[in-house]
Amino acid sequence: MDAATKHEASGLHSALRYKFIAIVGNENVRAATAADAVGGVQPKLVIEAGTESEIAEILRLSNAAGLAVIPWGGGTKLGWGNSPERADLVLSTARLNEIIEHAWADLTVTVEAGCTIQRLQETLAEHGQRLALDPLWPEKATIGGVLSANDSGALRSRFGALRDLIIGATIALPDGTLASSGGKVVKNVAGYDLPKLVTGALGTLGIITRAVFRLHPLPRNTRSFSVATANAEEAQRFALAVQDSKLAHTFLQSHFSDDASPVSDILFEGTEAGLVAQEAQLRNFAAPAKVLESSTSSWTAREKLWTPADPENTAIAKISVLPANVARTMKLVEHIANGQQVRWRALVYATGLGWLRLEGKVGALRSALQALRGELESQQGSLVALHHPEKMPSFDAWGNAGDALPLMKAVKQQLDPKSTLNPGRFVGGI
Amino acid sequence: MGMQTFDELRAIVGKRGFISSPEELHTYECDGLTYFRVMPRAVLLPNSTEQVQAIVRICHRERMPFVARGSGTGLSGGALPVENGIVISLARMNHILEVDFPNARVVVEPGVINLDVTGRVSPQDYFYAPDPSSQSICSIGGNVAENSGGAHCLKYGFTTTHVLGLEVVLPDGTLVHFGGKTLDEPGYDLAGVFVGSEGTLGIATKVILRIVKRPECVRTLLAAFPSTNEAGAAVSDIIAAGMLPAAIEMMDNLSIQAAEAAVHANYPNCGGLLLVELDGPVAEVEALMTQVNEICRSNGASEIRVAQSDAERALVWKGRKAAFAAMGRISPNYIVQDGVIPRTALPRVLSEIERLSKEAGVRVANVFHAGDGNLHPLVLYDRRISGQEKAAEALSAQILELCIAAGGSITGEHGVGEDKKKAMAKMFAEPDLATMQRVRCAFDPLQLSNPTKVFPTPRLCGEKPGEYVPHASESAGIAERY
C-alpha cells in the first residue's frame, strides 16, 4: 500500500468518501461507532447500499483503495469466525431487501440479500410455502448473512442444508464484477455451481446480492413428541433406530447436559391420517421409553442455547460428528468439561451436527475447546468455535481445514486477490 | 508425446492398462453423443489413486491435456477426447470400499456402477437415490462429473445432494480431500463446486456417498389425458395442493407410441400421459394418492391406473426409462435435447415447439420430468433425406433458446460438455462465465483437465479480468441476469 492510500484508509474523509456519498447518498454513509466493531476491530465508515450495482461499485472503489470491507446483513452472526485483520468499511445490505419474485407455482423465490428470513417466510406463507430452513434469529437474520454463515437448524435432516436449497446467486466481487450463476429452475447443470461456493464462505469471496431458492410447501399438520432416555447411549440407540426405520420424521434432535438425562424431540409433518399412523409406530418403537406429546418450544431450543446467562464466561461451538459417534462424543464432552470444571449443554441433530455451550472460567473454556477439537478431528469430525469470551486469548475459530487449504487460498486469490473482504476471518487465515 | 513419455505412462499402468492401437482406441473416440469424435493418443486404465496421480503428474510435466472417462454414457460430449490428449478411464477402479449402515455412508471408487451401489445396500433396505436412466451402466465418477439427476430427484435431490466427500487428484497431481464423512467441514464447499464441473477441475478417485432408507411404500399412478395441457394442469394442481411426489413424469403421444413399440409397457394411447409416484408411510401415501386421483379426474383424465404390484410398477418405469432408446423404433435418427423451463411455462413452450416442428417439417417427441421442469424433446429425423439433419439440428437449437427465454436452463442433467458450449454464452453474461473461469484457474491454471469443454471461449489464467460490462440483452432490458 502506498502512502497516499494508507492515508485514505485511515482517514476516509477525502475524495473517496465523497465518491461513496455520490453513489449511495449522504444519508447512507455514516461514521462507524464502537457498536459497529467486529471481533474487537472498529471500522471507520458504515455504508448502506440500495442496489446491487451500488454494492459492486463501492466494493470496486474500496478494493482499488486497499480498504478492508466487512459485509453486514442483520448483524446477528458477526461474531462468527476469527476477528478481521483489518476493517475499514462496513457495507450493509439492509436496504437491498426486495423479494423480487415469488414464483409460487414453480416453487421458487428470487430475493435480495438484505431481506430478513422472517419477512421472506411471511411472504411465502401467503401461498402456503416456505424456505425449509430454521436459522437463528429469523426476525433479524438476512438471506445474505444466513447464506454466508451457512446457518441451519433441525429441519436440515429432512430438507438439506442451504447448499441443497439455493439454486442461483448473484455476487459482487471486489473488482466490481456482478456475476450470476445457477438460475431460476431447480434442475440445472449449466456451468459451475458457484451458489454452493459462496454458501458458508463467510463473505470472503464476494458479497451475495441476491439468491434464488427452491421452496417447499408448508406442512398441513404437524405433531411433535419428546422421548426421555436414561443416558447418552440410549439416546443414540433411539436416534439411530429412528433413522434406520420407515418413519418419515421431519427432524430429530437430542438435548444433553450436565444436569439432566437426555431428551429427544421428534417432529412429524403430513396428513392427519399419516400422523396418527406414525405416532402409533413411534410409541411402539420407543417402548419402554416414554413418548410425550411436546410443544413447539423444541423449535427454539437452539436460540435458548445461544442465550447464556453470562456471555463473558461462555463459549458456544458447532460440532460435527458421525451420527453413530454422538454418545461417545457426549461422554467425551462430559469428561473434558468435568476435568476443566465447566458446565455444559448440547443440542445434537440426527445428522451428527450439534451445538455445544460451555460455561466456566476463560482459561478452562479455552482448554476444553482445544481438547475437544483434537478429539473430534481425530474421529473425522470438527469443532468450530462461534462464540467465546472477548477476553479469551486468541483461539482459531475453525480448526483444521485439511489438505485442500492451499486450493481454498487459490480460489480466494482468484476472486479477492487483495484480501479486501473480511480479511483473516475464515479458515487458515483466509 | 515422445516415445519416452509413452513408455513412462505404460510403465505406470502396465501393458493391460495401456491402449494405443488405433483399432482399440476407436471405442474411446466419443461418448454417448456420437456426433463428436476425436481420437485420443492413448487410453490409460489406472487401478489406484497413486496410478492416477502418477499419470496426471506426467501430463502436467509434459503440458499434455487429459480427459477422465467413466462408462462413456454421457450425452454432451463431456468424455470426448481432446486433440493431442490422453484419456484416463476409471473403469478398473470399481470397488465399493466401505459400507457404513449406522451412518448411512458408502465409500466407492469412481468406476463403480450407479446401480451397484443400490444393489449392495438393498438387502438392508437402503438405496442410492440419484437414478439417471442409464443407471445400470453409468459410473459414480461420471455422475459426479455431470451432477446426474434422474426421475426421482424432485424429492431426493441430485448427485450433489448425495456426495458428502471426495478424494480428488488435482490437475498438477496433488491429492486433496473435499468434505468428508461428517457434515460442514470447515472451509469452502469445494465438493459442491467439483460435482457437476464436468471433469474440468480434476479427477475424483474416491467418493463418499449418502444412502437413503427405503420408504415404507411406493405407489405409482398412471393417468391418461387428452393432451399435455390437461396433464400439465394436473401437475400444477398437485404442487399447489402442497404435495412433493417422488417423481412426476409426462410423455406426449409420440413418446408413448415409441415406448409401447419398444417395451410394451401397456401405456394407454392418449395425448398426454402422467406418471405420478408417491412414497412414504402407507397411511400418508394412501391419503395423498386419493387426492392425486381426484386432481387427475377433475383435469379430464380419461383413464387412471395405480400399479398394483412391484412388477407392474417396474414395467411402468421401464417404458419411461426406455423412451430415448425407443425412438429408434419410430425414427431412424434422433437428437435428445435436455432443456429446463419453469414448470408453469410448459403449455407455452410446448405449443411453440409444436409450431417450430411443423414449420421445419421435423417431428418432436416430448418426455418431461414434469415436477422439476426438465424437458427432453426428442427431435426425430432421417439422415438419408437431404436437409433433414440440418433442419433437426436447427430445431434442437431453437428449442434451447425457448428454454432460455422462458427463464430456464440449457441443460438439466446431461451437461454442457462439447455440445452446448456456445449456448452457455446465451444463458450467461460474459462476467458470469469469466467468474466461473477464475474458479477454474484456481484448480487448473494450465488448463489440462478436460480443456475446451463447458466454456464457449477459453481464457488464459494469467489474464486480468476486465471491468464489468453488462450483457447486451441486459442493457436493453430484455433479459434479467440469469
Across A387-391, A392-396, B294-298, B367-371, which has the greatest mean pLDDT?
B294-298
**pLDDT tens per residue, range B283-299:** 999 999 999 999 999 99
The count of residues in chain B is 482
Residue A70 falls inside a structural domain: yes
Could you tell me the CATH number of the domain that includes residue A8?
Answer: 3.30.43.10
Please choose, from the candidates B170, B30, B391, B155, the residue with its C-alpha nearest in 3D space to the C-alpha of residue A132.
Answer: B155
Which residues 8-67 of A have a C-beta within 8 angstroms of B?
56
pLDDT at A13: 59
**Which residues are within 8 A (CB) of A341 and not within 5 positions of it... i.e. 6 or more apart?**
A360, A361, A364
Specify the fold of B3-89: 3.30.43
B interface test, pick of A106, A187, A379 with most B CB neighbours within 10 Å: A187
Task: Indicate the residue among A265, A298, A331 that finishes a domain.
Answer: A298
Using a CB-CB cut-off of 8 Å, the residues of chain A touching B284 are 248, 270-271, 273-274, 277-278
Three cell numbers, residue B238: 398437485
Interchain CB distance below 8 Å, A277 and B282: yes
pLDDT at B325: 83
**Nearest-by-Cβ selection for B239 from A107, A178, A179:** A107
Whether A322 contacts chain B with CB within 8 A: yes
Interval A363-367 mean pLDDT: 96
Interchain CB distance below 8 Å, A179 and B213: no
- Cβ–Cβ < 8 Å for B322, B262: yes
**pLDDT tens per residue, range A184-197:** 999 999 999 999 99
Does the pLDDT value for residue B474 go beyond 60? no
Interchain CB distance below 8 Å, A170 and B190: no
Could you tell me the CATH number of the domain that includes residue A272?
Answer: 3.30.70.3450
User: Are residues A104 and A197 both part of a single domain?
Assistant: yes
Does the pLDDT value for residue A4 go beyond 80? no
pLDDT at B116: 98
Give the helix ranges, DSSP H, for B331-453. 346-360, 388-405, 421-427, 430-443
Count A/B contacts: CB-CB distance under 8 Å.
289
**Nearest-by-Cβ selection for B180 from A164, A179, A380:** A380
pLDDT at B229: 92
pLDDT at A298: 66
Could you tell me the CATH number of the domain that includes residue A379?
Answer: 3.30.70.1710
Whether B422 contacts chain A with CB within 8 A: no
Using a CB-CB cut-off of 8 Å, the residues of chain A touching B279 are none
| pLDDT band per the 50, 70, 90 thresholds, residue B133 | confident
Interval A208-235 mean pLDDT: 95
Residues carrying CATH 3.30.43.10, chain B: 3-89
| pLDDT band per the 50, 70, 90 thresholds, residue A69 | very high
User: Are residues A134 and A55 both part of a single domain?
Assistant: no
Cis omega (within 30 of 0) on the bond before A288? Answer: yes
- State whether residue A385 is helix, strand or coil: strand
pLDDT at B130: 96
Task: For residue A261, give its domain range.
Answer: 221-298
Distance CA A165, CA A108 (A): 10
How many folded domains does chain A comprise?
4
Distance CA B121, CA B105 (A): 10
Does the pLDDT value for residue B478 go beyond 50? no
Distance CA B131, CA B212 (A): 13
**Nearest-by-Cβ selection for B184 from A150, A248, A402:** A150
- The top-level CATH class assigned to B217-405 is alpha beta
Share of chain B above pLDDT 90, in %: 83
User: Are residues A333 and A394 both part of a single domain?
Assistant: yes
Interval B232-253 mean pLDDT: 93
Whether B462 contacts chain A with CB within 8 A: no
pLDDT at B200: 98
**pLDDT tens per residue, range A152-204:** 999 999 999 999 999 999 999 999 999 999 999 999 999 999 999 999 999 99
User: Are residues A135 and A59 both part of a single domain?
Assistant: no
Whether B459 contacts chain A with CB within 8 A: no
* B343: closest chain A residue by CA: A106
Instruction: Provide the CA B305 distance to its chain's centre, in angstroms.
Output: 30
User: Are residues A186 and A253 both part of a single domain?
Assistant: no
**Nearest-by-Cβ selection for A216 from B244, B373, B432:** B244
φ, ψ (nearest 5 deg) of residue A240: -65, -35
Distance CA B384, CA B396 (A): 18
**Nearest-by-Cβ selection for B176 from A193, A199, A407:** A407
Distance CA A174, CA A191 (A): 21
* B461: closest chain A residue by CA: A414
| E-only strand ranges, B36-122 | 42-44, 66-69, 86-89, 96-100, 105-108
Interval B190-213 mean pLDDT: 98
User: Are residues A277 and A167 both part of a single domain?
Assistant: no
Please choose, from the candidates A326, A221, A231, A335, the residue with its C-alpha nearest in 3D space to the C-alpha of residue A278.
Answer: A221
Interchain CB distance below 8 Å, A184 and B286: no
Interval B14-32 mean pLDDT: 95
Residues carrying CATH 3.40.462.10, chain B: 217-405
**pLDDT tens per residue, range A284-342:** 888 888 899 987 666 788 999 999 999 999 999 999 999 999 999 999 999 999 999 99
DSSP character at residue B97: E
- Domain B96-213 matching CATH 3.40.50.300: the answer reads no
- Give A47's Cβ-side CA count (13 Å radius): 31
Does the pLDDT value for residue B471 go beyond 50? no
**Plot region of A294 (φ>0 → left; ψ -120 to 50 → alpha; else → beta):** beta
**Nearest-by-Cβ selection for A217 from B188, B242, B285:** B242
**pLDDT tens per residue, range B215-242:** 999 999 999 999 999 999 999 999 889 9
